[in-house]
Structure 1
Amino acid sequence: MTRFPGYPFASRWFAHPARAGLRQHYVDEGAGEPLLFLHGNPSWSYLWRRPILALRDRFRCVAPDHIGMGLSDKPAAGDYLHTLASRVDDLDALTSHLIADRGAPDKGWTLVMHDWGGPIGMAWACRHPGRVARLVVLNTAAFPNPHGERARLPLRLPLWLLGDTALGARLILRHNLFARGATWRPLGVRRRMPALVREAFLAPYDRPEHRVAIQHFIQDIPLRPRDPAWPILDGMGRELHRFADRPALIGWGLRDPVFDPAMLACWRRHLPRARTHVYPRAGHYVLEDAHEQLVPAIGDFLEGNG
């Protein structure tokens, strides 16, 4: 049995020259058209184990761990800018390396995105629209919260508490509350995770210094125009129409407490031709709750839109 059940993949590493050699871990399995799997907070490439296993015989499956997350290096707060802009730059550097040095094609990429993977992936796509062939969207956003002002008060308080207070630092850094909560019912999943799977999701965040990126992801969530990541999020929201002609699949867990039906409706307006699969009993980690239906649906979509 591997260290992480269902994740029998070789580890690969990219040393970022502009990041003092910080190593980014990624999975690169199979051959064919490239699929770029982008996770969010507080998960890592382990989230993608099932679709990679199902698709690597037909596609090249690339799944990075963002710096500070998963098996990538975990710099201290002062050694790396844990911002959306940095994440997009990191993805740009990694994909450029894969194209220049690892035989990946310049075009024909499919983005598969969850949670923060949506803003990171779509910001990268806005830089390189000609590279993107298809989109797979799973409980994420790439536009300002459609609830507008109504979303700010109920979200601002818990985000401030977790991201900017001493109590929040203790809960996240000392007790790993955010990552643990994401593996619990009903916060992140609606069906109980097997113990070994839950341990695998939590394994990279085994001590406080390995949880810095989790906290900074929370601090970087943009709700208002003065938030640092807002211009990127707002800008990509204005640019999503450029991808309306791309084949797209939306897979959505309706029991997600954050990425709710209003966000799903927003995606459907931006991508009116998208094939949509809704899972009423699935939560935020839709690939954990509904993988029996969702993974084959992704495969069918990719085969039908080559």
Structure 2
Amino acid sequence: MVAVHHRYTGVQGRQLFYREAGAADAPAVVLLHGFPTSSFMFRHLVPALADRYHVIAPDHLGFGLSDAPPADQFDYTFDALAGLTAALLDKLGVSRYAMYVQDYGAPIGWRLALNDPGAITAIITQNGNAYEAGFVDAFWQVVWDYRREQTPQTEKAVRQALTLDAIKWQYLTGVPDPTLISPETWHHDHALVSRPGNDRIQLDLFLDYATNLPLYPRLHEYLRAHRPPLLAVWGKGDEIFTPAGARAFADDLPDARIHLLDGGHFLLESALDDVIALVRDFLVGSSAGRGQRGT
């Protein structure tokens, strides 16, 4: 069995939790989770990569087991979460790494790449959007409405995303065999976002999400200029980010590897073995797996 360490460390006055496995001098792979989960979503992927890589999977501030200061004591933005992630990696001595991004992890990862392009050896995006083509209007309209105007009506609509039924929907939608998904996943996530005050944290991030779209042109320019090896592995039944979001990467990176698998938004819960095989093959063939060191 691969030893997976569960650690806490102080970063900019906050305690961040992260999972870590693999040799410290191996090529680094950083796993960045989405909403409404945590590094818990990578609990099986971390040991599956750690024989060859130094794997680090943090919980973003306000998620999982990291600190969750009240929204009136911390400005929850994607810029702030990216800054904390960069500071964590700097503290751990990780200056070059491949990144695996999903959902919220994508805009955090895009900021890391734009702020330090030379740090990124490869990108794996699993239902992590970077193009307007991938958005499902039926899902996102309530977020855009809330951004435009914060009223009791728009807040009530966006709060539905924090309910147990909505989180369960994220896990099960698009999955060919829902019995493959453990109910612990949505109950685990719901319990953490239901902690006192966490709703305001999530509402602040819903408000800030619209700041991600203006970054897309800069990100596309970065992809064309730096040409990082990129794997898009996507649950094709996702009704939050559609397969169009995966295919769009080829517009800027014609050599991108794009794989659409049977599954939904949280593809690792139903197609773990397929994803592991694709990721390992991709990393071995990219600069991330050919002797690049994490420190």
| TM-score normalised over the length of structure 1 | 0.80
2:22 counterpart residue number: 30
| Paired position in structure 1 for 2:293 | none
For the residues of structure 2 that align with 1:96 and 1:135, how far apart are their CA atoms?
Answer: 19
Match of 2:110 in 1: 122
1:154-205 alpha-carbon deviations (Å, 9 max, x no partner): 45642256774342476456x455434423x227886242233443344433
Pair 1:169–1:297, CA change in 2 (3 A): closer
Query: Secondary structure, in 3 states, of the residue corresponding to 2:127?
Result: strand
| Cα deviation digits, residues 58-108 of structure 1 (max 9, x gap) | 111001111001111111111111111112211121111111xxxx3x33x
SS at match of 2:62: coil
The secondary structure found in structure 1 opposite 2:282 is helix
Distance 1:58 1:85, change over 3 A: same
Q: 1:122 to 1:153 in 2, by over 3 A?
A: closer
Q: What TM-score, normalized by structure 2, do the two folds share?
A: 0.83
Instruction: Name which of 154, 158, 167 aligns with 2:142.
Output: 158
Alignment of 1:1-306 (within 5 A): 9-17=4-12, 21-31=13-23, 32-99=26-93, 104=94, 106-107=95-96, 109-143=97-131, 145-146=132-133, 154=138, 157-159=141-143, 164=150, 165-168=154-157, 171=160, 175-176=163-164, 178-183=166-171, 185-186=172-173, 191-192=178-179, 193-222=181-210, 228-244=211-227, 246-279=228-261, 281-305=262-286, 306=290
Q: Which has the higher contact order (CA 8 A, sep 6+)?
A: 2
Look up the SS of the partner of 1:10 in the other structure.
strand
Give identity over the alignment, percent: 26
CA 1:302 to 1:158, structure 2 compared with 1: closer, same or farther past 3 Å?
same
Conservation of the 8 A alpha-carbon contact between 1:42 and 1:182: no
Equivalent pairs counted in the alignment come to 279
AA in 1 matched with 2:265: H
Q: Residue 82 of structure 1: SS of its match in structure 2?
A: coil
Assess, with a 3 A threshold, how the Cα gap between structure 1 residues 91 and 40 changes in structure 2: closer, same or farther. Answer: same
Structure 2: runs of 5 or more not aligned = 291-295
Greater displacement, 285-294 / 57-66: 285-294
Please give the secondary structure, in 2, of the residue aligned with 1:221: helix
CA separation of 1:75 and 1:169: change in aligned 2, threshold 3 A: farther
Alpha-carbon shift at residue 286 of structure 1 (Å): 1.4
In 2, are the aligned partners of 1:27 and 1:62 still within 8 Å (CA)?
Answer: yes
State the SS of the aligned residue for 1:220: helix
- Do 2:223 and 2:252's aligned partners in 1 also have CA atoms closer than 8 Å? yes
Task: Supply the distance in 1 between the matched residues of 2:34 and 2:84 (Cα, whole angstroms).
Answer: 14
**CA gap 1:203/1:59 in 2 versus in 1, 3 angstroms:** farther
Change (3 A) 1:116 1:197: closer
Give the secondary-structure state (helix, strand or coil) at the position aligned to 1:37: strand
Aligned counterparts of 1:153 and 1:197: Cα–Cα separation in 2? 26
**How far 1:209 moved relative to its partner?**
2.1
Cα displacement (A) at 1:14: 2.8
- Structure 1 residues 204 and 298 mapped into 2: Cα distance closer, same or farther (>3 Å)? same
Contact 1:190 1:255 in 2 (8 A): no
Counterpart secondary structure, 2:72? helix
CA offset at residue 256 of structure 1?
0.8
Counterpart CA distance in 1 for 2:3 and 2:169 is 26
Q: Distance in 2 between matches of 1:8 and 1:288?
A: 21
Q: Provide the C-alpha distance between the structure 2 equivalents of 1:136 and 1:15, rounded to a whole number of angstroms.
A: 27
1:26, 1:111 → 2: CA distance?
15
